[in-house]
Amino acid sequence: MVYQRIQKDVLCRRQIFNRLINLEENERKNLSAEIHDQLGQDLSALKISLGIIERDLDSEPAQIKDRLFKSRKLVSEIIDKSHNIAYMLRPPAIDEAGLSEAIEGLLVDYRHLTKTEFSYQKPSEELDIPPEHKLLFYRITQELLTNMAKHSQAAKVKVRLEREGDFIKFFYEDDGAGFDYKEASEQPQRRKEDKFKLGLIGLKERVELLDGLIHIDSSPGKGTRVSVKLLTFREKDKI
């Protein structure tokens, strides 16, 4: 009886957590669509309007035309930023191409942004796993690459994603600056200024709430290594 109660409690906790993740990601998805469909369209219309004004002001002072030119340039920048925000909130590749390709897309993006050499070993076929698990692995990759680009300045990054029976395994390794993970995890209240360390600790809690295993190994000057092992099921096997 006690064992059955414990099993029921664990299952209930997992279901609640999955619902919270789905709710959070649905909100992100809705916000992403709103930014893209509303903000992006409105700013595009404004850009066209400013272009018409600029065209019709040939007889006006030069400073007005210059101001309009700068305004159009600013609008273009805002449009680009809104597209980037929408992409970061809910990358369409997760829904369109799957987790493996979405992670590869992240690596391509960061390859363009940095001088880092990337190595990616992906599964032979796309992983048919629940959406909340896909998002978890994507967010972990995103958090690690963001830190790598901003702080660690790694020369080489290795990422591996694979299925082993009913488990999905994820491995990350870089040769960057590293950090004192033990200190950050034991005294997080002193690390509020470091969003990456707090973000990684939060992801660790998510993995553990899904009864997964995560190991983080990092120290100053010795890079960062992260491994995740999560028991999952195939979407086609759901009842």
- Kindly indicate the confidence band of residue 1, based on its pLDDT and cuts at 50, 70 and 90: low
Return the closest-CA partner of residue 229 out of 214, 210, 208: 214
What lies within 8 Å, CB to CB, of 119 at 6+ separation is: 156, 157, 158, 159
Checking if the pLDDT of 236 tops 60, the result is: no
Closest CA to 175 of 189, 154, 191: 154
pLDDT at position 192: 45
**CATH pick for 98-237 out of 3.40.350.10, 3.30.365.10, 3.30.565.10, 3.40.718.10:** 3.30.565.10
Mean pLDDT, the chain, whole residue set: 77
Q: Kind and range of the H or E element at 42?
A: helix 40-55
Residue 194 banded pLDDT, cuts 50, 70, 90: low
DSSP calls for 154-208: -SEEEEEEEEETTEEEEEEEE-S----HHHHHH-GGG-TT-HHHHHHHHHHHHHH
In this structure, what are the phi and psi dihedrals at residue 226, rounded to the nearest 5 degrees? -135, 135
81 pLDDT more than 70 = yes
The pLDDT score that the predictor gives to residue 119 is 94
Q: Is the pLDDT at 158 greater than 50, yes or no?
A: yes
Q: Does pLDDT of 164 surpass 80?
A: yes
Reported as a pLDDT band with limits 50, 70 and 90, residue 191 is: very low
170 vs 147: CA distance, rounded Å? 17
Interval 58-73: pLDDT, tens? 666 666 777 778 778 8
pLDDT, one tens digit per residue, over 88-125 is: 666 777 777 788 998 998 899 888 888 889 999 998 88
Query: Could you tell me what percent of the chain has a pLDDT over 90?
Result: 15
The residues spanned by each domain of the chain are 2-89, 98-237
Comparing 113 with 9, the larger pLDDT belongs to 113
Kindly report, residue by residue over 138-152, the tens digit of the pLDDT.
988 988 888 888 877
- Dump pLDDT digits (tens) for 29-50: 666 766 766 677 777 777 877 7
Q: At what angle do helices 195-209 and 131-147 cross, to 10 degrees?
A: 160
pLDDT of residue 90: 65
pLDDT of residue 193: 45
